[in-house]
Amino acid sequence: MNHKSWVRYRHPARWTGIFWLFVLMLTFSNPSWAHKLSIFAYVEGDRVYIESYFANGDPCANSPVRVYDRSGAILVEGQTDGEGMFNFQLPERDDLRIVVEASMGHRNEYLLSKQEIVGEMGSASSPPITSPEDAQETTRLPAARDIEQILDRKLAPLIANVHEMQRAQDRAKLRDIIGGIGYIVGLMGLVMYLRARKRDD
Amino acid sequence: MHISEGVLSPPVLIAGGVLAVAGVTAGLKQTETDQIPKVAVLSSAFFVASLIHVPVGPTSMHLVLNGITGLLLGWAAFPAIFVGLALQAILFQFGGLTTLGVNTFNMAFPAVLCFYLFSPLLRRENRSWNVTAGVASGVLAILMSALLIGLSLVFTGQSFLRVAQIAVVAHTPIMVVEGILTGFCVLFLKKVKPELLVPSSSRRRDTS
Protein backbone atom coordinates (compact mmCIF):
# COMPACT_ATOMS: atom_id res chain seq x y z
CA MET A 1 0.00 0.00 0.00
CA ASN A 2 1.45 3.28 -1.05
CA HIS A 3 1.16 5.55 1.94
CA LYS A 4 1.17 8.61 -0.23
CA SER A 5 -1.69 7.54 -2.44
CA TRP A 6 -4.13 9.98 -0.90
CA VAL A 7 -2.02 12.89 -2.00
CA ARG A 8 -2.25 11.97 -5.63
CA TYR A 9 -5.88 12.48 -6.09
CA ARG A 10 -6.32 10.82 -9.42
CA HIS A 11 -8.92 12.99 -11.08
CA PRO A 12 -8.57 16.55 -9.95
CA ALA A 13 -10.65 17.44 -13.00
CA ARG A 14 -13.75 16.05 -11.37
CA TRP A 15 -13.80 19.02 -9.03
CA THR A 16 -13.59 21.67 -11.70
CA GLY A 17 -17.26 21.25 -12.64
CA ILE A 18 -18.31 21.79 -9.06
CA PHE A 19 -15.90 24.67 -8.77
CA TRP A 20 -17.52 26.46 -11.69
CA LEU A 21 -20.97 25.76 -10.35
CA PHE A 22 -19.79 27.38 -7.20
CA VAL A 23 -18.44 30.46 -8.97
CA LEU A 24 -21.75 30.71 -10.80
CA MET A 25 -23.62 30.59 -7.52
CA LEU A 26 -21.43 33.33 -6.11
CA THR A 27 -21.93 35.50 -9.16
CA PHE A 28 -25.69 35.32 -9.01
CA SER A 29 -26.01 35.59 -5.29
CA ASN A 30 -27.18 38.94 -4.19
CA PRO A 31 -24.92 40.12 -1.44
CA SER A 32 -27.49 40.39 1.27
CA TRP A 33 -27.77 38.67 4.58
CA ALA A 34 -30.28 36.04 5.32
CA HIS A 35 -32.35 36.76 8.35
CA LYS A 36 -30.05 38.35 10.81
CA LEU A 37 -32.21 40.68 12.81
CA SER A 38 -30.82 44.11 13.65
CA ILE A 39 -32.22 46.51 16.19
CA PHE A 40 -31.46 50.14 16.68
CA ALA A 41 -32.89 52.15 19.55
CA TYR A 42 -32.52 55.78 20.59
CA VAL A 43 -34.10 58.22 23.01
CA GLU A 44 -35.74 61.42 21.89
CA GLY A 45 -37.32 63.52 24.60
CA ASP A 46 -39.09 61.10 26.88
CA ARG A 47 -39.81 58.48 24.26
CA VAL A 48 -37.69 55.57 23.07
CA TYR A 49 -37.72 54.84 19.36
CA ILE A 50 -36.90 51.40 18.00
CA GLU A 51 -36.11 50.44 14.45
CA SER A 52 -35.75 46.78 13.56
CA TYR A 53 -34.84 45.32 10.23
CA PHE A 54 -33.51 42.16 8.69
CA ALA A 55 -30.03 41.98 7.32
CA ASN A 56 -31.16 42.62 3.77
CA GLY A 57 -32.74 45.89 4.89
CA ASP A 58 -36.32 44.65 5.00
CA PRO A 59 -38.18 45.91 8.05
CA CYS A 60 -39.04 43.42 10.72
CA ALA A 61 -42.73 44.18 10.61
CA ASN A 62 -45.46 43.22 13.10
CA SER A 63 -43.11 41.47 15.47
CA PRO A 64 -43.43 41.36 19.23
CA VAL A 65 -41.23 43.78 21.17
CA ARG A 66 -40.48 43.41 24.86
CA VAL A 67 -38.59 45.81 27.05
CA TYR A 68 -36.97 44.53 30.23
CA ASP A 69 -35.43 46.38 33.13
CA ARG A 70 -32.17 45.44 34.79
CA SER A 71 -33.78 42.72 36.90
CA GLY A 72 -35.45 41.11 33.92
CA ALA A 73 -38.99 42.29 34.60
CA ILE A 74 -41.04 43.23 31.55
CA LEU A 75 -41.74 46.96 31.43
CA VAL A 76 -43.28 47.41 28.02
CA GLU A 77 -44.76 44.98 25.55
CA GLY A 78 -45.81 45.80 22.04
CA GLN A 79 -45.50 45.10 18.36
CA THR A 80 -43.55 46.76 15.58
CA ASP A 81 -45.55 48.44 12.84
CA GLY A 82 -45.34 47.68 9.12
CA GLU A 83 -42.03 49.55 8.91
CA GLY A 84 -40.43 47.68 11.78
CA MET A 85 -40.75 50.75 14.02
CA PHE A 86 -41.97 50.94 17.58
CA ASN A 87 -41.84 53.65 20.22
CA PHE A 88 -42.82 53.89 23.84
CA GLN A 89 -42.84 56.25 26.79
CA LEU A 90 -39.59 55.92 28.73
CA PRO A 91 -40.60 53.88 31.78
CA GLU A 92 -37.56 54.57 33.95
CA ARG A 93 -34.10 56.07 33.80
CA ASP A 94 -32.11 52.87 33.93
CA ASP A 95 -30.60 50.31 31.60
CA LEU A 96 -33.23 48.90 29.29
CA ARG A 97 -32.99 45.66 27.39
CA ILE A 98 -35.05 45.71 24.22
CA VAL A 99 -35.87 42.36 22.62
CA VAL A 100 -37.46 41.94 19.21
CA GLU A 101 -38.55 38.49 18.18
CA ALA A 102 -39.51 37.51 14.65
CA SER A 103 -41.03 34.19 13.71
CA MET A 104 -39.12 30.91 13.62
CA GLY A 105 -36.48 31.64 16.16
CA HIS A 106 -35.15 34.91 14.82
CA ARG A 107 -34.46 37.23 17.68
CA ASN A 108 -32.10 39.94 18.77
CA GLU A 109 -31.75 42.43 21.57
CA TYR A 110 -30.43 45.92 22.11
CA LEU A 111 -29.15 47.32 25.34
CA LEU A 112 -30.04 50.96 25.89
CA SER A 113 -27.67 52.11 28.60
CA LYS A 114 -28.49 54.44 31.44
CA GLN A 115 -26.00 57.02 30.20
CA GLU A 116 -27.70 57.23 26.84
CA ILE A 117 -31.07 57.68 28.47
CA VAL A 118 -30.03 60.12 31.16
CA GLY A 119 -27.99 62.16 28.73
CA GLU A 120 -31.00 62.54 26.52
CA MET A 121 -33.48 63.11 29.33
CA GLY A 122 -31.19 65.65 30.97
CA SER A 123 -31.01 67.78 27.89
CA ALA A 124 -34.74 67.58 27.41
CA SER A 125 -35.73 68.54 30.91
CA SER A 126 -32.91 70.86 31.96
CA PRO A 127 -34.57 74.02 33.13
CA PRO A 128 -33.63 77.31 31.49
CA ILE A 129 -31.17 79.45 33.40
CA THR A 130 -33.20 81.32 36.00
CA SER A 131 -30.84 82.68 38.58
CA PRO A 132 -31.61 86.41 39.01
CA GLU A 133 -28.10 87.67 38.24
CA ASP A 134 -28.18 85.85 34.92
CA ALA A 135 -31.65 87.06 34.02
CA GLN A 136 -30.26 89.72 31.73
CA GLU A 137 -28.16 87.16 29.91
CA THR A 138 -31.01 84.68 29.65
CA THR A 139 -33.22 87.00 27.71
CA ARG A 140 -30.57 87.35 25.07
CA LEU A 141 -29.59 83.67 24.96
CA PRO A 142 -31.89 81.22 23.21
CA ALA A 143 -33.68 78.91 25.62
CA ALA A 144 -32.45 75.36 26.08
CA ARG A 145 -35.53 74.07 24.30
CA ASP A 146 -34.72 76.19 21.24
CA ILE A 147 -31.14 75.02 21.19
CA GLU A 148 -32.33 71.48 21.33
CA GLN A 149 -34.72 72.00 18.46
CA ILE A 150 -31.98 73.54 16.35
CA LEU A 151 -29.63 70.71 17.21
CA ASP A 152 -32.25 68.13 16.36
CA ARG A 153 -32.79 69.72 12.99
CA LYS A 154 -29.09 69.99 12.23
CA LEU A 155 -28.30 66.50 13.44
CA ALA A 156 -31.19 64.69 11.76
CA PRO A 157 -29.36 64.06 8.48
CA LEU A 158 -26.28 62.96 10.39
CA ILE A 159 -28.26 60.47 12.44
CA ALA A 160 -29.93 59.15 9.31
CA ASN A 161 -26.48 58.78 7.84
CA VAL A 162 -25.27 56.77 10.82
CA HIS A 163 -28.28 54.45 10.53
CA GLU A 164 -27.58 53.98 6.85
CA MET A 165 -23.95 53.17 7.58
CA GLN A 166 -24.94 50.65 10.18
CA ARG A 167 -27.21 48.96 7.68
CA ALA A 168 -24.47 48.91 5.05
CA GLN A 169 -22.15 47.33 7.55
CA ASP A 170 -24.68 44.63 8.25
CA ARG A 171 -24.76 43.55 4.63
CA ALA A 172 -22.66 40.61 3.56
CA LYS A 173 -19.16 41.29 2.53
CA LEU A 174 -17.45 39.31 -0.14
CA ARG A 175 -14.40 39.30 2.10
CA ASP A 176 -16.20 37.24 4.72
CA ILE A 177 -17.37 34.73 2.13
CA ILE A 178 -13.89 34.25 0.76
CA GLY A 179 -12.50 34.09 4.27
CA GLY A 180 -15.00 31.41 5.23
CA ILE A 181 -14.10 29.27 2.25
CA GLY A 182 -10.47 29.77 3.16
CA TYR A 183 -11.17 28.40 6.63
CA ILE A 184 -12.85 25.34 5.15
CA VAL A 185 -9.90 24.67 2.85
CA GLY A 186 -7.56 25.11 5.80
CA LEU A 187 -9.57 22.71 7.94
CA MET A 188 -9.54 20.19 5.11
CA GLY A 189 -5.77 20.43 4.93
CA LEU A 190 -5.49 20.04 8.69
CA VAL A 191 -7.67 16.93 8.80
CA MET A 192 -5.79 15.34 5.92
CA TYR A 193 -2.45 16.18 7.50
CA LEU A 194 -3.43 14.67 10.83
CA ARG A 195 -4.70 11.53 9.16
CA ALA A 196 -1.58 11.20 7.04
CA ARG A 197 0.56 11.47 10.16
CA LYS A 198 -1.47 8.83 11.92
CA ARG A 199 -1.00 6.50 8.99
CA ASP A 200 2.76 7.07 8.92
CA ASP A 201 3.15 6.23 12.60
CA MET B 1 -33.71 27.90 9.17
CA HIS B 2 -31.22 29.19 11.73
CA ILE B 3 -32.40 29.48 15.30
CA SER B 4 -30.85 32.51 17.03
CA GLU B 5 -29.21 32.77 20.42
CA GLY B 6 -31.39 33.14 23.46
CA VAL B 7 -34.52 31.53 22.05
CA LEU B 8 -34.08 27.97 23.25
CA SER B 9 -33.85 26.65 26.78
CA PRO B 10 -30.61 25.04 28.04
CA PRO B 11 -31.90 21.42 27.95
CA VAL B 12 -32.77 21.78 24.25
CA LEU B 13 -29.39 23.36 23.53
CA ILE B 14 -27.55 20.59 25.36
CA ALA B 15 -29.58 17.83 23.69
CA GLY B 16 -28.85 19.42 20.31
CA GLY B 17 -25.17 19.70 21.16
CA VAL B 18 -24.90 16.04 22.18
CA LEU B 19 -26.70 14.83 19.05
CA ALA B 20 -24.55 17.05 16.85
CA VAL B 21 -21.30 15.82 18.42
CA ALA B 22 -22.44 12.21 17.94
CA GLY B 23 -23.28 12.92 14.30
CA VAL B 24 -20.02 14.72 13.59
CA THR B 25 -18.03 11.89 15.18
CA ALA B 26 -19.88 9.28 13.14
CA GLY B 27 -19.35 11.37 10.02
CA LEU B 28 -15.62 11.75 10.56
CA LYS B 29 -15.19 8.06 11.33
CA GLN B 30 -16.93 6.99 8.17
CA THR B 31 -15.14 9.35 5.83
CA GLU B 32 -12.17 8.00 3.93
CA THR B 33 -9.29 10.43 3.68
CA ASP B 34 -9.55 10.79 -0.08
CA GLN B 35 -13.17 11.85 0.33
CA ILE B 36 -12.33 14.81 2.52
CA PRO B 37 -12.02 17.29 -0.36
CA LYS B 38 -15.55 16.33 -1.39
CA VAL B 39 -16.77 17.03 2.14
CA ALA B 40 -14.95 20.37 2.09
CA VAL B 41 -16.46 21.40 -1.25
CA LEU B 42 -19.99 20.61 -0.07
CA SER B 43 -19.30 22.35 3.21
CA SER B 44 -18.28 25.47 1.28
CA ALA B 45 -21.38 25.22 -0.89
CA PHE B 46 -23.53 24.93 2.21
CA PHE B 47 -21.72 27.86 3.80
CA VAL B 48 -22.32 30.15 0.81
CA ALA B 49 -25.84 28.88 0.08
CA SER B 50 -27.41 30.84 2.91
CA LEU B 51 -26.34 34.07 1.21
CA ILE B 52 -28.19 33.19 -1.97
CA HIS B 53 -31.59 34.70 -1.80
CA VAL B 54 -34.55 33.53 -3.73
CA PRO B 55 -37.21 36.22 -3.89
CA VAL B 56 -40.56 34.81 -2.81
CA GLY B 57 -43.40 37.27 -3.01
CA PRO B 58 -42.74 40.14 -0.62
CA THR B 59 -39.90 38.44 1.25
CA SER B 60 -36.99 36.27 0.24
CA MET B 61 -35.72 32.91 1.34
CA HIS B 62 -32.21 31.63 1.28
CA LEU B 63 -31.01 28.29 0.01
CA VAL B 64 -30.01 25.59 2.49
CA LEU B 65 -28.69 22.79 0.26
CA ASN B 66 -28.82 20.14 2.98
CA GLY B 67 -30.54 17.69 0.60
CA ILE B 68 -27.69 17.50 -1.89
CA THR B 69 -25.14 17.57 0.95
CA GLY B 70 -26.73 14.52 2.52
CA LEU B 71 -27.23 12.70 -0.75
CA LEU B 72 -23.56 13.03 -1.68
CA LEU B 73 -21.99 12.67 1.76
CA GLY B 74 -24.12 10.44 3.95
CA TRP B 75 -22.99 10.75 7.56
CA ALA B 76 -20.21 13.11 6.48
CA ALA B 77 -23.00 15.68 6.03
CA PHE B 78 -22.75 16.24 9.79
CA PRO B 79 -19.16 17.58 9.83
CA ALA B 80 -19.77 19.46 6.56
CA ILE B 81 -22.89 21.22 7.87
CA PHE B 82 -21.34 21.78 11.28
CA VAL B 83 -18.37 23.62 9.79
CA GLY B 84 -20.62 25.60 7.44
CA LEU B 85 -22.91 26.65 10.28
CA ALA B 86 -20.04 27.54 12.59
CA LEU B 87 -18.62 29.89 9.98
CA GLN B 88 -22.04 31.36 9.23
CA ALA B 89 -22.48 32.04 12.93
CA ILE B 90 -19.06 33.64 13.34
CA LEU B 91 -18.89 35.63 10.11
CA PHE B 92 -22.52 36.43 9.38
CA GLN B 93 -24.19 36.11 12.78
CA PHE B 94 -26.69 33.60 11.36
CA GLY B 95 -27.91 31.40 14.15
CA GLY B 96 -25.40 31.51 16.95
CA LEU B 97 -22.67 29.62 18.71
CA THR B 98 -24.88 28.32 21.52
CA THR B 99 -27.46 27.08 19.03
CA LEU B 100 -24.82 25.54 16.78
CA GLY B 101 -25.58 22.01 18.00
CA VAL B 102 -29.34 22.30 17.57
CA ASN B 103 -28.99 23.93 14.16
CA THR B 104 -26.48 21.31 13.01
CA PHE B 105 -28.78 18.50 14.03
CA ASN B 106 -31.87 20.16 12.53
CA MET B 107 -30.19 20.47 9.14
CA ALA B 108 -27.84 17.47 9.06
CA PHE B 109 -30.13 14.76 10.38
CA PRO B 110 -32.65 15.17 7.55
CA ALA B 111 -29.68 15.15 5.17
CA VAL B 112 -28.55 11.76 6.49
CA LEU B 113 -32.10 10.40 6.31
CA CYS B 114 -32.29 11.50 2.67
CA PHE B 115 -29.06 9.66 2.05
CA TYR B 116 -30.50 6.38 3.34
CA LEU B 117 -33.83 6.87 1.59
CA PHE B 118 -32.68 8.02 -1.80
CA SER B 119 -29.05 7.27 -2.53
CA PRO B 120 -29.86 3.66 -3.62
CA LEU B 121 -31.94 5.22 -6.40
CA LEU B 122 -28.88 7.12 -7.63
CA ARG B 123 -27.09 3.93 -8.55
CA ARG B 124 -29.82 2.85 -10.94
CA GLU B 125 -29.14 3.45 -14.59
CA ASN B 126 -32.46 5.13 -15.04
CA ARG B 127 -32.53 8.84 -15.36
CA SER B 128 -36.04 9.39 -14.10
CA TRP B 129 -35.29 7.47 -10.89
CA ASN B 130 -32.12 9.55 -10.43
CA VAL B 131 -34.01 12.81 -10.85
CA THR B 132 -36.76 11.60 -8.53
CA ALA B 133 -34.14 10.88 -5.87
CA GLY B 134 -32.68 14.38 -6.28
CA VAL B 135 -36.01 16.21 -6.19
CA ALA B 136 -37.27 14.16 -3.25
CA SER B 137 -34.07 14.83 -1.26
CA GLY B 138 -34.23 18.54 -1.94
CA VAL B 139 -37.85 18.76 -0.82
CA LEU B 140 -37.80 16.32 2.08
CA ALA B 141 -34.59 17.62 3.65
CA ILE B 142 -36.12 21.08 3.98
CA LEU B 143 -39.48 19.73 5.10
CA MET B 144 -37.90 17.63 7.84
CA SER B 145 -35.66 20.49 8.93
CA ALA B 146 -38.69 22.77 9.22
CA LEU B 147 -40.45 20.16 11.36
CA LEU B 148 -37.36 19.78 13.55
CA ILE B 149 -37.26 23.55 14.03
CA GLY B 150 -40.90 23.35 15.09
CA LEU B 151 -39.98 20.60 17.51
CA SER B 152 -37.06 22.60 18.97
CA LEU B 153 -39.29 25.59 19.54
CA VAL B 154 -42.00 23.57 21.29
CA PHE B 155 -39.98 23.68 24.47
CA THR B 156 -40.02 27.46 24.46
CA GLY B 157 -43.73 27.22 25.21
CA GLN B 158 -45.07 27.72 21.72
CA SER B 159 -47.50 25.10 20.48
CA PHE B 160 -45.91 22.57 18.15
CA LEU B 161 -48.68 22.51 15.58
CA ARG B 162 -48.65 26.27 15.20
CA VAL B 163 -44.87 26.63 14.99
CA ALA B 164 -44.52 23.64 12.68
CA GLN B 165 -47.28 25.01 10.49
CA ILE B 166 -45.58 28.40 10.23
CA ALA B 167 -42.20 26.79 9.58
CA VAL B 168 -43.51 24.44 6.90
CA VAL B 169 -45.57 27.12 5.16
CA ALA B 170 -42.65 29.55 5.25
CA HIS B 171 -40.30 26.99 3.78
CA THR B 172 -42.60 25.68 1.05
CA PRO B 173 -41.16 27.95 -1.66
CA ILE B 174 -37.62 26.99 -0.79
CA MET B 175 -38.62 23.30 -0.86
CA VAL B 176 -39.71 23.73 -4.46
CA VAL B 177 -36.56 25.63 -5.39
CA GLU B 178 -34.25 23.13 -3.72
CA GLY B 179 -36.15 20.20 -5.18
CA ILE B 180 -35.61 21.50 -8.69
CA LEU B 181 -32.01 22.49 -7.99
CA THR B 182 -31.11 19.14 -6.43
CA GLY B 183 -32.79 17.30 -9.30
CA PHE B 184 -30.70 19.19 -11.84
CA CYS B 185 -27.58 18.70 -9.75
CA VAL B 186 -28.04 14.93 -9.67
CA LEU B 187 -28.73 14.81 -13.39
CA PHE B 188 -25.64 16.87 -14.11
CA LEU B 189 -23.39 14.79 -11.85
CA LYS B 190 -24.75 11.51 -13.21
CA LYS B 191 -23.79 12.65 -16.70
CA VAL B 192 -20.44 14.22 -15.90
CA LYS B 193 -19.05 12.46 -12.84
CA PRO B 194 -21.22 9.48 -11.89
CA GLU B 195 -18.61 8.23 -9.42
CA LEU B 196 -19.33 11.29 -7.27
CA LEU B 197 -22.77 9.93 -6.52
CA VAL B 198 -21.27 6.90 -4.84
CA PRO B 199 -21.39 7.94 -1.20
CA SER B 200 -18.18 8.57 0.65
CA SER B 201 -18.94 6.14 3.43
CA SER B 202 -19.46 3.12 1.19
CA ARG B 203 -16.46 3.72 -1.02
CA ARG B 204 -13.14 2.11 -0.32
CA ARG B 205 -9.97 4.07 -0.59
CA ASP B 206 -8.10 3.85 -3.89
CA THR B 207 -4.64 2.44 -3.41
CA SER B 208 -3.29 2.62 -6.89
Which of A18, A105, A177 lies at the smallest CB-CB distance from B7? A105
Say what the pLDDT of residue B199 is: 56
| Mean pLDDT value across residues A90-105 | 81
| Mean pLDDT value across residues B68-91 | 93
- Mean pLDDT score across all residues of chain A: 73
Number of domains in chain B: 1
Say what the pLDDT of residue A64 is: 86
pLDDT at A82 over 90: no
Which of A1, A30, A34 lies at the smallest CB-CB distance from B207? A1
Residue A54, Cβ density class (10 Å: 0-12 exposed, 13-18 middle, ≥19 buried): buried
Q: Does residue B5 form part of some domain? A: no
Among chain A residues, the shortest Cα distance to B39 is held by A188
8 A C-beta contact, residue B189 and residue B145: no
Say whether B207 and A185 touch across the interface (CB within 8 A).
no
Full DSSP string of chain B: -PPPTTSS-HHHHHHHHHHHHHHHHHHHHH--GGGHHHHHHHHHHHHHHTT-EEEETTEEEE---HHHHHHHHGGGHHHHHHHHHHHIIIII--S-STTHHHHHHHHHHHHHHHHHHHHHHHTSS-HHHHHHHHHHHHHHHHHHHHHHHHHHHHTTT--HHHHHHHHHHHHHHHHHHHHHHHHHHHHHHHHH-GGGGS-GGGPPPP--
> ipTM of the assembly?
0.79
Chain B residue numbers with beta carbons less than 8 Å from the beta carbon of A196 are 33
pLDDT at B129 over 60: yes
Say whether A33 and B51 touch across the interface (CB within 8 A).
yes
- CA B166 from chain center: how many Å? 20
- What residues contact B25, with CB distance under 8 A and at least 6 apart? none
Which of A18, A28, A188 lies at the smallest CB-CB distance from B36? A188
pLDDT at B152 over 90: no
What is A37-125's CATH number? 2.60.40.1120
Say whether A36 and B83 touch across the interface (CB within 8 A).
no
Least confident segment among A73-87, A104-118, A159-173 = A159-173
Domain boundaries, chain A: 13-31+175-200, 37-125
Q: Which secondary structure element, helix H or strand E, spans residue A6, and what is its range?
A: none
- The model's pLDDT over B93-119, given as tens digits with 9 standing for 90+, comes to 888 899 999 999 999 999 999 999 999
| Residue A5: band (very low, low, confident or very high) from pLDDT cuts 50, 70, 90 | very low
Q: Does residue B41 form part of some domain? A: yes
What CATH number does residue B81 fall under? Answer: 1.10.1760.20
Q: Does residue B173 form part of some domain? A: yes
Say what the pLDDT of residue B203 is: 47
Chain A residue numbers with beta carbons less than 8 Å from the beta carbon of B88 are 180
Say what the pLDDT of residue A84 is: 84
- What residues contact B75, with CB distance under 8 A and at least 6 apart? B23, B26, B27, B30, B31, B112, B115, B201
| Mean pLDDT value across residues B164-186 | 88
- What residues contact A18, with CB distance under 8 A and at least 6 apart? B41, B45
- Number of A:B CB contacts under 8 A? 137
| Mean pLDDT value across residues B171-181 | 90
- The model's pLDDT over B41-72, given as tens digits with 9 standing for 90+, comes to 999 999 988 877 776 665 667 889 999 999 99
Say whether B51 and A184 touch across the interface (CB within 8 A).
no
pLDDT at A154 over 90: no
Chain B residue numbers with beta carbons less than 8 Å from the beta carbon of A31 are 51
- Mean pLDDT score across all residues of chain B: 86
Q: Does residue B3 form part of some domain? A: no
The whole domain housing B129 covers 10-197
Q: Does residue B183 form part of some domain? A: yes
The proportion of chain B whose per-residue pLDDT surpasses 90, expressed as a percent, equals 48
| Mean pLDDT value across residues A74-95 | 85
Among chain A residues, the shortest Cα distance to B1 is held by A104
